[in-house]
Structure 1
Amino acid sequence: MTVSAVRQLSTSTIRPLRKLEQAPPQRCELTPWDVSLLFLRYNQRGLLFHKPHPSDGQDEKPITIIIDRLKHSLSHVLAHFSPLAGRLVFGNNASSSSSSHVFIDCNDAGAEFIHAVADIGVAHVLTTIDVHPIVESFFPLNGAVNCDGISLPLFAVQLTELTDGFFVGCSFNHAVADGTSFWHFLSSWSEICRINISRENEPLVNISRPPVVQRWFPSGKLSPVSLPFSNPHEFIETVSRPLLRDRFFHFTPKSIARLKAKANEEGKTNKISAFQALSAHMWRSVTRARNLPADEIISCGFSIDNRSRLEPPLSRDYFGNCVQGKRATVRAGELLAHDLAWAAWLVYRTVVEHNDAVVRSTYDAWAKAPFFIYLSKMDNVSVVIGGSPRFDVYGVDFGWGRPVSVRSGGENKLDGKISLFPGREGGGSVDLELCLAPAVMCALESDDEFMDTVSSPPRIL
């Protein structure tokens, strides 16, 4: 089934719900954590749902009612998350025509809502070994670069109606929000959507976790970032997407517990976490499948949430980017010559050494010598881990019940990219999305040591 099987029926602009007496939206400055992502593409995450049936205790509503409720609740939640309804603004610095600054104008320009249909069922999306190619067309703003947020919406959603379900595909500007912020937003949207809102003169619906949209600066005062260019579009890279296989692997709670116990037992410690054990396991398994030269320098990269690392810590509801990339680096032969504990300890040390002083020093260093993240600078001999099993993916319920599964769009994928999600059954289970060159993926699938740690996800009725 081709991408053309998805047909867009309508496109709407959804603006935040505001009353005349409310104060106008404010400008939102960006931090180095935000600005360093300007030249990546929009991040894309989506959820697959069954259509509700009367037997589930839910009435099967016409699609027009579902779309109306989604749009109306989106206008409510955007009033809380005002940056997502704005646009990026680049302005030249007064002191230099070759430099500029960027901020979000929270001007209520709005988010984009698309209604589409596809002649495909939920089961068909899930039954392919690799991620079904049609999934990419379930997302809006394909090809958009974060700095395109000057004119493009900073958030767009496509509701694709399937024969027996829905797919809610979201594309959000990664220079505006990280994964923690995105799932906070999506949970808040679904929270409002479950309320039976009156259409006439209703007050703005409160949410259980209001976001903290004020950006953090070390001095406590707004400090706009100075950029070393006047036109950001001159710095956009044009790269062809590599040929990759993209598939999910499921780790049960028992499998994750075994990996953690093995790493701690081999290392004669109790400090290695489940994340560190799983990261080390994937790093070693992918490296083994790649059959690299022993002296090849490789790394395991991952993002660390700075919210809890700062002193005092930031609120978990801080809205924006608050993550920092870190790497454990070694030679391929050395990694494979040692056991799981040795690799996990490299990851552990990288994590524990990331403290308040490191966060602040790297923040200051970026301000003095700005750099930007490009996919082209990432090699194909390492692994890069994103996402988190702690995100409340399956708590997102728009009134149709829990999601069936989670999927990513086609953007920002590279050889060795790993995305972590909680397993649907909970309990510490993990669904891991992995992108690899086809031959390497085949080698990994033939690796008994790796395949013995994964299993089929629970059957979803």
Structure 2
Amino acid sequence: MEQPNAVKLVEICRVAPKSSRQDLLSLPLTYFDSLWLRFSPVQRLYFYEFTPPSPADSILAYLKTSLSLTLDHFLPLAGNLTWPQDSARPILSYVQGDTVTLTVAESDADNFNHLSSNSVFVQTKAYHPLVPQLQSSHERAAAIAFQITLFPGRGFAIGTAMHHAILDGKTSNSFVKSWAHACSKLVESGLSVGSDISLPEPLYDRTCIHDPTELGLESFYLNEWLKMDGPNNRSLKLWELKPPPDDSVRSIFEFTRAQIQTLRQMVVEKLSDPVHVHLSSFSLVCAYTWVCLVKAQEVDAGKTSLQGFTVDCRSRLDPPVPQNYFGNCIRGVMVSAEAKELLGEDGLVVAVTAISEAILGLDKNGILNGAEEVYISKIRDFFQVEGLYSVAGSHRFEIYDTNFGWGMPKKVEVVSIDRTGAYSVSDSKSGGGGIEVGVVLKKHYMEAFASLFAQGFQKH
């Protein structure tokens, strides 16, 4: 029987950038950022095992010191998001003395192995005490927050909360990996607090982002926010989404490289012109997951099923945006398919084709084509709607390479998907080109999903 996750607060720390340099004080949001202005934060959880056991005080000292060093290279993240009356756009500003909240907690329950295992169903609410809340009000919002939860004699977990209007997946992953790199160097060589650790510098130049559309995406998105619950509503209070049902559970499912190749072969055999279909690992994994979800949740065959995912625009813009650009540079893509077709014998082919057409259409019609059709006032209503699925994360982030000095993570979860109805995608802990998918469902649906997931490969 799973033990309750009894977590007690140890301390709340305020971590400041090491040198508090002031060569960069504020960043205006771009249209890529403003689209996500009040979206709930992305919360991720990294589990690390003690091998061998390490003193908790030593671990906390390394993590706090390296966080301070890393913030020196990502100074705006120690600041706050505001929307001054005299500013047309929200601004991320750092003022000397600003800090990042780091919560330290300890678990009384002997459930580390259960929570960090990929082979079990975990109660959705079990992870909630392990991730931090991101502070926000109508006037301001924090950029990031962290929590370290110690499991004495077992390991620890690092919980992160990232403001989506400030960081996309690539930027947030870059920050966490920089923090991990700095920490691992401290652990490896025992560098003093004043030692300088070389870290990659993010690019803050907002002139990299051009709006090639004639509609003015920046004004379009900001006006949408201003008139929501308005008029002239400059609130920065983050949306509070409906919590998951009490009977929901979460689990991670792995696609090995061989299984992905099996999916590719299954699709190729049924396509008359496979050359013109985008059969990437991402497309195949998302298509298979989509079909299994529709079947497991017994979506009405008469409905249209939707799947949304984001695409990195850095290399697709003209001119291209450097990969180390700080901020959002992604756009959402929505694909649709009739549920009855996804439920049919060729459901996988239908799903892959729909996803493929959406991705290839971006290159053909322009990466921002149709971006003006995203009405923020309608987005909130889409969350947790039957037949709608979205994707969080990417296997290209290689999150299992996030080593703070005590080895690779035992498990990584995107906790926030339990409120958005998304499923997460990441690289596999096992490596070898595999991909992990994290799913949150009511328990009876999860049992059906697990069965369908396994059966699809047993037939081939």
TM-score class, shorter-chain normalisation, is 0.7 to 0.9
Among residues 251, 258, 261, which one is paired with 1:257 in the alignment?
261
Give TM-score scaled by structure 1 length.
0.84
Which blocks of at least 5 consecutive residues in structure 2 are unaligned?
213-217, 227-231
Q: Quick check: 2:120–2:251 contact (8 Å CA) kept in 1?
A: yes
Identity %: 23
* 1:413 CA drift (Å): 2.5
Q: Pick from 417, 430, 434: which aligns with 1:429? A: 434
- Within the candidate set 303, 308, 321, 1:314 is matched to 321
Write the letter of the residue equivalent to 1:33.
F
Q: Write out per-residue CA displacement over residues 5-60 of structure 1, whole angstroms, 9 at most, x where no aligned residue.
A: 111111111111226xx44432111122222222221111111111132xxxxxx5
* Pairing partner for 1:418 from 407, 423, 439: 423
Please give the alpha-carbon distance, in whole angstroms, between the structure 2 residues aligned to 1:378 and 1:323: 22
Deviation at 1:81, TM superposition (A): 1.2
Q: How much does 1:152 deviate?
A: 5.0
In the alignment, the residues of structure 1 paired with residue 39 and residue 3 of structure 2 have an alpha-carbon distance, to the nearest angstrom, of 26
The letter of the residue matching 2:392 is G
Q: Which runs of 5+ in 1 are unaligned?
A: 54-59, 95-99, 456-461
Aligned partner of 1:39 in structure 2 is 38
Q: In the comparison of the two structures, how many residue pairs are matched?
A: 432
Superposed CA offset, 1:335-393 (max 9, x none): 33462223211111101111386334555677xx7657426555221221221111121
Contact 1:41–1:412 under 8 Å retained in 2: no
Whole-angstrom CA distance in 2 between matches of 1:150 and 1:356: 41
Q: Aligned equivalents of 2:92 and 2:293: distance in 1?
A: 39
> Aligned partner of 1:158: which letter?
Q
Q: Deviations over 1:229-273 (max 9, x none)?
A: 334268946645445332211222211221122112322424411
Q: Equivalences for 1:310-389 in 2 at 5 Å?
A: 310-337=317-344, 339=346, 340-355=348-363, 358-362=366-370, 373-374=379-380, 376-377=382-383, 379-389=385-395
Whether contact under 8 Å (2:33, 2:327) holds in the other structure is: yes
In structure 2, the partner of 1:9 is 10
Distance 2:345 2:385 in 1: 23
The secondary structure found in structure 2 opposite 1:413 is: helix
Given residue 298 of structure 1, which amino acid in structure 2 is its aligned partner?
S
| 1:138 counterpart (130, 133, 149) | 130
Structure 1 pair 185/349, CA: closer, same or farther in 2 (3 Å)? Answer: same
Distance 2:410 2:74 in 1: 26
Q: 1:429 to 1:178 in 2, by over 3 A?
A: same
Call closer, same or farther: CA 1:9–1:280 in 2, change over 3 Å: same
TM score, norm. by length of structure 2: 0.84
- Distance in 1 (CA, whole Å) between partners of 2:285 and 2:369 is 29
**In 1, Cα distance between equivalents of 2:334 and 2:31:** 19
Amino acid at match of 2:323: R
Deviation at 1:61, TM superposition (A): 4.2
2:215 aligns with none
Partners in 2 of 1:365 and 1:430 — Cα distance?
32
Seen in structure 2, the aligned counterparts of structure 1 residues 189 and 240 have a Cα distance that, compared at 3 Å, is closer
> Pairwise CA RMSD of aligned residues?
3.0
Q: Does 1:18 align with 2:8?
A: no
Match of 2:455 among 444, 452, 460: 452
